[in-house]
């Protein structure tokens, strides 16, 4: 399980915004050819009006990635290492050389959990020989170095992983990412660290899914598609269809968009370029 979760954490690609949030060729041409800033802002406002975007930049503007040419969904951030926008980005982890986000956050948590269990297993199997070494009953030889190395390294990694795993369990319980823990997400009403906190049970289900038997298996079982997340300040039942219905993100055969993801967006919002 340790090897499986480690493999999945490394090779699961980070989820990126779908085409609904990207500027189409015609919109990009229209945006680049327009010289008036107000007209450029209005072009992006018209695009954002049909999207479920509720977070804002620190200045209160709609978040737009100039590098990826996408309107950022809620909890999406641009990773300078992966050079792409990542849905519900938590952090870029050098231990797995991958971005930890919506598509692999559960896998990363399981990797930490099974790593802790692996360290406990190693320490438990070596402990009896460590006691023999401590009382002087272990014969001289290279095994002494092996026992000391395994014991201390296993305990050292266990303590480090325990703090990291405990911190991420707290984040899951609060429905926050590492980035949101350091910088609160900004909504129309202002910054709110608990903006996505919808209760402990539903917070766990967003990451692990409703089937508890699948919680400890390193396969994706989370809810939604990473583009929309229920808000604490809104009635969850009225927005459950947005979270569950994946057909609304698909395009029809003729390339036209089916339906509107958000009925009403304040046309007075502004647009700000963000890296």
Model confidence pLDDT, tens digit, residues 77-113: 999 999 999 999 999 999 999 999 999 999 999 999 9
Q: What Å distances lie between residue 102 and 13, 36, 43, 150, 200, CA to CA?
A: 10, 37, 29, 34, 18
- In this structure, is residue 80 part of a structural domain? yes
Question: Dihedral of CA 152/154/158/161: which sign?
Answer: positive
Helix (H, G, I), strand (E, B) or coil at 79: strand
Q: How far apart are CA 145 and CA 140, in angstroms?
A: 10
Low-confidence ranges of the chain (pLDDT < 70): 234-275
User: How many CB atoms sit inside 10 A of residue 218's CB?
Assistant: 22
- In this structure, is residue 242 part of a structural domain? no
User: How many CB atoms sit inside 10 A of residue 169's CB?
Assistant: 14
Find out whether 107 and 9 touch, Cβ atoms under 8 Å: yes
Active site residues: 93
Residue ranges making up the domain that contains 91:
1-214
- In this structure, is residue 243 part of a structural domain? no
Number of domains in the chain: 1
Q: Which residues are CB-contacts of 181 (< 8 A; sequence separation ≥ 6)?
A: 171, 193
- In this structure, is residue 89 part of a structural domain? yes
Q: What Å distances lie between residue 120 and 116, 123, 181, 271, CA to CA?
A: 6, 5, 29, 51
pLDDT at 124: 92
- In this structure, is residue 272 part of a structural domain? no
Beta bridge partners of residue 186, listed in sequence order: 56, 191
- In this structure, is residue 37 part of a structural domain? yes
Find out whether 186 and 63 touch, Cβ atoms under 8 Å: no
Find out whether 260 and 50 touch, Cβ atoms under 8 Å: yes
pLDDT at 234: 67
Find out whether 13 and 103 touch, Cβ atoms under 8 Å: yes
Q: Which residues are CB-contacts of 134 (< 8 A; sequence separation ≥ 6)?
A: none
Helix (H, G, I), strand (E, B) or coil at 73: coil
Nearest CA among 215, 216, 227 for reference residue 52? 227
- Strand 84-86 relative to strand 77-79: parallel, antiparallel, unpaired? antiparallel
- Tell me, what DSSP letter sits at residue 247? G
pLDDT at 73: 94
- Tell me, what DSSP letter sits at residue 55? E
Q: How far apart are CA 257 and CA 202, in angstroms?
A: 30
pLDDT at 2: 95
- Tell me, what DSSP letter sits at residue 19? G
Measured torsion, CA atoms of residues 98, 109, 105, 160, in degrees rounded to the nearest 10: -50
- In this structure, is residue 26 part of a structural domain? yes
pLDDT at 46: 79
Q: How far apart are CA 211 and CA 220, in angstroms?
A: 11
- In this structure, is residue 268 part of a structural domain? no
């Amino acid at each position: 399980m340790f090897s499986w979760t480690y493999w999945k954490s490394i090779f699961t690609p980070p989820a990126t915004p779908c085409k609904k949030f990207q500027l189409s060729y015609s919109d990009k041409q229209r945006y680049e050819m327009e010289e008036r800033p107000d007209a450029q802002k209005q072009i992006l406002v018209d695009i954002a009006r049909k999207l479920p975007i509720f977070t804002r930049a620190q200045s209160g503007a709609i978040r737009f990635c100039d590098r990826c040419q996408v309107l950022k969904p809620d909890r999406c951030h641009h990773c300078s290492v992966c050079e792409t926008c990542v849905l519900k980005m938590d952090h870029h982890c050098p231990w797995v050389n991958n971005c930890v986000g919506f598509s692999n956050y559960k896998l990363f948590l399981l990797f930490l959990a099974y790593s802790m269990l692996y360290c406990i297993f190693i320490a438990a199997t070596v402990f009896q020989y460590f006691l023999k070494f401590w009382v002087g009953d272990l014969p001289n030889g290279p095994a002494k170095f092996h026992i000391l190395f395994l014991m201390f390294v296993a305990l050292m990694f266990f303590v480090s992983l325990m703090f990291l795993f405990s911190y991420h369990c707290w984040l899951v319980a609060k429905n926050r990412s590492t980035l949101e823990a350091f910088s609160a997400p900004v909504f129309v009403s202002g910054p709110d660290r608990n903006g996505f906190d919808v209760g402990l049970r539903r917070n766990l289900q967003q990451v692990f899914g409703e089937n508890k038997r699948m919680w400890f298996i390193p396969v994706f079982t989370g809810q939604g598609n990473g583009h929309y997340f229920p808000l604490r300040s809104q009635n969850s039942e009225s927005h459950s269809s947005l979270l569950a219905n994946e057909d609304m993100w698909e395009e029809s055969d003729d390339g036209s968009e089916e339906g509107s993801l958000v009925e009403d967006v304040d046309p007075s919002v502004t647009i700000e370029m963000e890296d």
